[in-house]
Amino acid sequence: MEAKSKKAGASRLCCLCNLRRPVLKRPKTLQQICRECFYEVFEEEIHQVIVQNRLFKSGERVAIGASGGKDSTVLAYVLSELNRRHNYGLDLFLLSIDEGITGYRDDSLETVKRNEVQYGLPLQIVSYKDLYGWTMDDIVKMIGLKNNCTFCGVFRRQALDRGAALLKVDKLVTGHNADDIAETVLLNILRGDIARLSRCTSITTGEDGPIPRCKPFKYTYEKEIIFYTYAYFKKLDYFSTECIYSPNAYRGFAREFIKDLERIRPRAILDIIKSGEDFRIATTTKMPEQGTCERCGYISSQKWCKACVLLEGLNRGLPKMGIGRPRGVNGDHKMETKKPGSVAKSIESKQCGSLDF
């Protein structure tokens, strides 16, 4: 009887240190662990991902895409800690995009400005207004709440590269976590977007473009980042409101589906990522050829990059001009009928919704 009660008492201790009471069950491993051990394994796992994938070299300048949301805030905090602790030798910066969304981005940027002071990281903000002459508020006024995320996603991608160029950084890191990546794998399968499917699980992308992008949280579960675990324990200062223009129901369904799978089988998230990693494209599949935009010089597989096409539509009062799949040289902007064996070049870039960049 005494032995039985001792055993029951022991099972309530952290399964890593066997000293303290557990405060959470890790979704990835189902281990019940204490707060101190959680900090340690959380940070150590990210360090191992960085080292094993050789994400950085000493002396590099690295911009952290910072939206003020939980993922990028935790990323900024952890990366500055690891940089100090393990002597990575990185020069870190915060890079924020101001899409011009009143009541959302203006508030979240205030959080990033506080993070600048809290973590001692210089901050660069680039705005859609300065780069394109349009804010998202203006765009939504013109086009309504349909396709607004397409404009925003395409503009953000370029804006991040332009901001990174201003900072003269060697790399850009984003706070995409394991849930985001699993969701993107699923969405690319549902859309038949083979080109994106083949690269969405890469931990580093854009090595042939202006600035490579890395995802140090590739294997980090969202549950461990969100407030009731890491961010809550560490009391990090982050912004948790969703964008007021977030209508992305399709992504929302995919997200819910992943969450349902995770409830039944927590490893499902890592397994979906693994499926994406092991995916191989048939050599007969035609892939888009990478070139540069004739107008602005940005990377593009068409005559004009998507941002220039969308911008032209806005400036001409024809905002639907760039929506859909362009055919050939994107001068006529007619809708393309997908041919068997060809790759759909979806214009929808990774949209944020509740995601951090």
What residues make contact with ligand SF4 under the rule CB under 6 A? 99, 136, 148-149, 152-153, 243, 245-246, 351-353
Q: How far is the CB of 98 from ligand SF4 (least distance, A)?
A: 11
**End-to-end CA distance of the chain, in Å?**
56
CA atoms lying within 13 Å on the CB side of residue 342: 13
Which of 224, 356 has the CB closer to ligand SF4?
356
356/35 Cα distance (integer angstroms)? 25
Task: Select from 57, 352, 347 the least CA-distant residue to 176.
Answer: 352
Which of 63, 149 has the CB closer to ligand SF4?
149
Burial 288-303 (b: 16+ CB within 10 A, else e): eeeeebeeeebbbbbb
Q: How far is the CB of 72 from ligand SF4 (least distance, A)?
A: 13
Which of 64, 243 has the CB closer to ligand SF4?
243
Q: How far is the CB of 303 from ligand SF4 (least distance, A)?
A: 25
Query: Could you tell me the two tokens for 170?
Result: 């060697």
Q: How far is the CB of 246 from ligand SF4 (least distance, A)?
A: 4
Which of 27, 353 has the CB closer to ligand SF4?
353
CB 233 within 8 A of CB 91: no
Q: How far is the CB of 249 from ligand SF4 (least distance, A)?
A: 12
User: What is the maximum span of the chain, computed from C-alpha positions, in angstroms?
Assistant: 82
Which of 115, 147 has the CB closer to ligand SF4?
147
94/201 Cα distance (integer angstroms)? 24
Q: How far is the CB of 153 from ligand SF4 (least distance, A)?
A: 5
Q: How far is the CB of 107 from ligand SF4 (least distance, A)?
A: 13
Q: How far is the CB of 137 from ligand SF4 (least distance, A)?
A: 10
Which of 242, 294 has the CB closer to ligand SF4?
242
The C-alpha R_g of the chain, in whole angstroms, comes to 22
Which of 193, 348 has the CB closer to ligand SF4?
348
Query: Phi, psi (5° rounding) for residue 35?
Result: -60, -45
Query: Could you tell me the two tokens for 178?
Result: 């394991």
Which helix or strand (DSSP H or E) is residue 110 part of?
helix 105-119
95/168 Cα distance (integer angstroms)? 12
44/42 Cα distance (integer angstroms)? 6
Q: How far is the CB of 242 from ligand SF4 (least distance, A)?
A: 7
Which of 214, 243 has the CB closer to ligand SF4?
243
197/201 Cα distance (integer angstroms)? 8
171/63 Cα distance (integer angstroms)? 6
Which of 33, 152 has the CB closer to ligand SF4?
152
Identify the bridge partners of residue 61 per DSSP, sorted by sequence position.
91
Task: Select from 175, 83, 71 the least CA-distant residue to 120.
Answer: 83
